[in-house]
């Protein structure tokens, strides 16, 4: 059960990469920290959506898988033993007259002097195929997450989507699958130039501009009917697995109930990562400011800013150290 009596200095809501690093950093700054995560495991999108994908843009690693990065972050976090609440979702934040907050969670209430919101895309669910299919095909023929790459080994796989992730998945799967198709309804891909270039030099067969019209099960395979856009032309494709990457629908409605000012479903923050409510900060994918890029690296930079600002507000009499060697 959650601790209802203890008053924490900082409660971080969301145990994705950014929330984990913020909890570690706040622990290093000797704050009394609590980290609350709604899923049973830490790691957020990195652990849930792409544990086996390589990440190439985290400082210090020329390439690291989502699972490895999560493991490193958790190892670092345990150095300061913050209070960890897994499988616990924060439902409401109620400011108190003394400036502290009571958080209502799915496992009871808890008290804190400051809050750092690191909920990423909120409760996220994949955007589904807009085609009728037997729900039993999900996780068998149709996948929305490529969690275990091995299930695609030596299979004929179609990836549907035109963004970075779809291209990355197609390129990753190319290494282990028998054949990979990439289906996109536009001629142009929205992915990074380097990924699109890599795609051109790969064995991935590109099917553009096509949209999936219907799915049928035939001899333990999936037959796709593809409609060519702005045409009556159709193509058939028989595959073992379909990996749909149409992005994610995030549910950030809860943030409105928390009284936070939103900008396009993200929390508007200042340069100090401060929200409109004193002592509530927001970092990572959920934070919005001019020039924001939704990357792990940006979130890692935002965490020390929020922690330092919050601790300065809570303990103005204390000089806040800057370099880790002067704290450890």
Binding site for FAD, residues?
Answer: 37, 45, 50, 90, 124, 285, 325
Stretch that binds ligand FAD, among 33-41, 94-102, 150-158, 182-190 (CB under 6 A): 33-41
Coil, strand or helix at 68: helix
Considering the complex, state which of residue 127 and residue 294 has its C-beta at the smaller distance from ligand FAD. 294
Q: d(Cα 183, Cα 61) in Å, to the nearest integer?
A: 31
What strands lie across the sheet with 266-268, from one edge to the other? 262-263, 266-268, 287-288
Coil, strand or helix at 168: helix
50 contacts ligand FAD (rule: CB under 6 A): yes
Nearest to 92 by CA among 251, 211, 250, 259: 259
Stretch that binds ligand FAD, among 38-46, 135-143, 173-181, 265-273 (CB under 6 A): 38-46
- Per-residue mark of binding to ligand FAD, 295-324 (x: CB under 6 A): xxx-x-------------------------
Count of chain residues binding ligand FAD (CB under 6 A): 35
Question: Which run of H or E residues covers position 251?
Answer: strand 248-251
- Per-residue mark of binding to ligand FAD, 143-182 (x: CB under 6 A): ----------------------x-----------------
Identify whether 173 is preceded by a cis peptide bond (ω within 30 of 0).
no
Distance of CA 152 to the CA centre of its chain: 23
> Taking the complex as a whole, how short is the minimal distance between the CB of residue 71 and ligand FAD, in angstroms?
15
119 contacts ligand FAD (rule: CB under 6 A): yes
Coil, strand or helix at 276: coil
> Taking the complex as a whole, how short is the minimal distance between the CB of residue 108 and ligand FAD, in angstroms?
14
**From candidates 12, 285, 300, 307, binder to ligand FAD by CB under 6 A:** 285
Residues 219-278 that bind ligand FAD (CB under 6 A): 254
Q: d(Cα 37, Cα 161) in Å, to the nearest integer?
A: 30
- Per-residue mark of binding to ligand FAD, 186-205 (x: CB under 6 A): --------------------
Distance of CA 254 to the CA centre of its chain: 17
Considering the complex, state which of residue 37 and residue 309 has its C-beta at the smaller distance from ligand FAD. 37
Q: d(Cα 193, Cα 189) in Å, to the nearest integer?
A: 9
Considering the complex, state which of residue 15 and residue 191 has its C-beta at the smaller distance from ligand FAD. 15
**From candidates 9, 10, 11, 19, binder to ligand FAD by CB under 6 A:** 19
Contact 68, 60 (CB under 8 A): no
Stretch that binds ligand FAD, among 116-124, 127-135, 230-238, 264-272 (CB under 6 A): 116-124
**Tokens encoding 322:** 């800057």
> Taking the complex as a whole, how short is the minimal distance between the CB of residue 10 and ligand FAD, in angstroms?
15
Nearest to 283 by CA among 293, 273, 291: 273
Q: Are strands 210-218 and 221-228 parallel, antiparallel or unpaired?
A: antiparallel
Distance of CA 270 to the CA centre of its chain: 22
89 contacts ligand FAD (rule: CB under 6 A): yes
Q: State the residues that interact with ligand FAD by CB under 6 A.
A: 13-19, 36-39, 44-46, 49-50, 55, 57, 89-90, 118-123, 165, 254, 284-285, 294-297, 299
């Amino acid at each position: 059960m959650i601790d209802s009596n203890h008053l924490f200095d900082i409660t971080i809501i969301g145990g994705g990469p950014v929330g984990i690093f913020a909890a570690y950093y706040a622990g290093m700054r000797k704050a009394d920290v609590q980290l609350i995560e709604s899923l049973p495991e830490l790691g957020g999108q990195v652990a849930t959506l792409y544990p086996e994908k390589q990440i190439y843009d985290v400082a210090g690693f020329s390439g690291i898988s989502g699972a490895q990065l999560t493991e490193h972050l958790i190892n670092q976090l345990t150095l300061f033993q913050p209070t960890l609440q897994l499988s616990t979702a924060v439902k409401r934040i109620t400011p108190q007259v003394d400036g502290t907050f009571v958080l209502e969670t799915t496992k009871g209430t808890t008290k804190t002097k400051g809050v750092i919101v690191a909920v990423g895309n909120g409760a996220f669910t994949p955007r589904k195929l807009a085609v009728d299919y037997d729900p039993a095909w999900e996780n068998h023929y149709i996948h929305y997450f490529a969690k275990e790459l091995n299930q695609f080994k030596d299979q004929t796989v179609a990836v549907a989507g035109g963004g970075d992730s779809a291209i990355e998945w197609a390129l990753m799967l190319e290494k282990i699958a028998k054949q990979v198709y990439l289906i996109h309804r536009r001629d142009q891909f929205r992915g990074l130039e380097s990924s699109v270039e890599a795609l051109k030099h790969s064995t991935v067969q590109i099917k553009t501009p096509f949209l999936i019209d219907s799915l049928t099960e035939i001899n333990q395979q999936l037959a796709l009917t593809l409609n060519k856009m702005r045409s009556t032309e159709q193509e058939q494709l028989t595959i073992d697995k379909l990996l749909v990457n149409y992005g994610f629908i995030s549910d950030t409605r809860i943030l409105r109930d928390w009284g936070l000012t939103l900008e396009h479903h993200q929390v508007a923050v200042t340069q100090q990562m401060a929200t409109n409510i004193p002592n509530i900060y927001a970092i990572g994918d959920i934070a919005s400011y001019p020039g924001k890029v939704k990357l792990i690296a940006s979130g890692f930079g935002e965490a020390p800013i929020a922690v330092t600002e919050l601790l300065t507000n809570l303990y103005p009499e204390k000089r806040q150290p800057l370099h880790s060697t002067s704290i450890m």
